[in-house]
Amino acid sequence: MAMPARSQSASKAPVAAAPFLPFARPTIDEETIAGVAEVLRSGWITSGPQVKTFEARLSEYCGGRPVRVFNSGTCTMEIALRIAGVGPGHEVITTPLTWVATSNVVLETGARPVFADIDPVTRNLDLDRLEAAITPATRAVIPVDLSGLPVDRDRLYSIAKKHRLRVVEDAAQAFGSTWKGQRIGAFGDFVSFSFHANKNITTAEGGCLVLNDEREAKLAEQYRLQGVVRTGHDGMEVELVGGKFNLTDVAARIGLGQLPHLEAVTARRRELARQYFKAFATAGAGALGLGLPVADFANSNWHMFQVVLPEERLTIKRAEVMAKMQAAGIGTGVHYPAIHLFALYRRLGWKPGDFPHAEYAGRNILTLPLFPAMQDADVTRVAATLIEILVSHRKP
């Protein structure tokens, strides 16, 4: 007996949904995982030989400068400020468009953070506004390389030299970036890197500080672990107030496994960024007023690919755009709200309207997925989905 024919819809296999695409994802190879297991079996899992080796490799990367590692890329900036003698009665200038840690560390020293607005094109600290913000109380500046795009180092250090300021480079996002062929970290004053899980090179949590000489390196070691100085078998002295900021050998071993891949990671990120520019050009992003980043493929490590939504042309806000992207299986992020509008900083005297460029970016900046394991097709999907959402919610 003949079997009844199945309907066309019943004969089709279900279409699998595309996997969720986060905005960042670390890649840890099997050799590194095995190396971490060896460290765990060794019994020496806090700061030890792996930390020493990691510091040595980082120093080589930074042209032989002293490098000390820490458990975050936040305490590194605070320690740099303390080594520079920054404290109560002093001012430190920075950008309002960064992770709040950048200004919080200034408060931790007892100094006052002073903000200068951003350049709306680069989204980095506007160096003209930086110079205008300098007062007799200014002791340092903390520039931030947002998304890995370096602040103009020539102009920055010219201003710092003219006004006798220390520079603490918040290069948290710039490991692998360069300035005119020189690696960020290989020159300048203090340079702080982060190795957080979403950074180009990670230790899960952690960071490092690049210093100018061995005297500063010794001070950094004291600040890293309760101010302690050890001598001989049992000698111990405490000369200053330190913290508990040391990196573990477990974390250092992850970093040692990451470093050899830096060049390939940076190259892949740059290629994905190029794909984003092509995809947005094809989709007509310019006509929608979508703000794209500076297309710097010589200096930036492309830690993030960030767009700025054209709020004046849309009927929905950023949160709704993010929700629609998530519903489409695409993760996004916000890096960052404008610091001076947080309650803590409003209590210190800042208010809406103080830094309009940073405020506009803070309301509308959107971080899109970018990590080496992404496929080119993922970029096309992200760009097409975002443009479709914006087109569907344009003001008439």
Residues tagged active-site:
199
Beta partners for residue 169, in sequence order: 191
Strands 207-210 and 190-194, sheet pairing: antiparallel
Instruction: Residue 375: count other Cβ atoms within 10 Å of its Cβ.
Output: 11
Handedness of CA 125, 128, 132, 134 (dihedral sign): positive
Beta partners for residue 191, in sequence order: 169, 210
Which amino acid is present at 48? G
Contact 90, 138 (CB under 8 A): yes
Contact 253, 35 (CB under 8 A): yes
Contact 308, 72 (CB under 8 A): no
* Cα three-residue angle 208-234-47, rounded to 5 degrees: 25
Which amino acid is present at 334? V
Strands 207-210 and 228-231, sheet pairing: unpaired
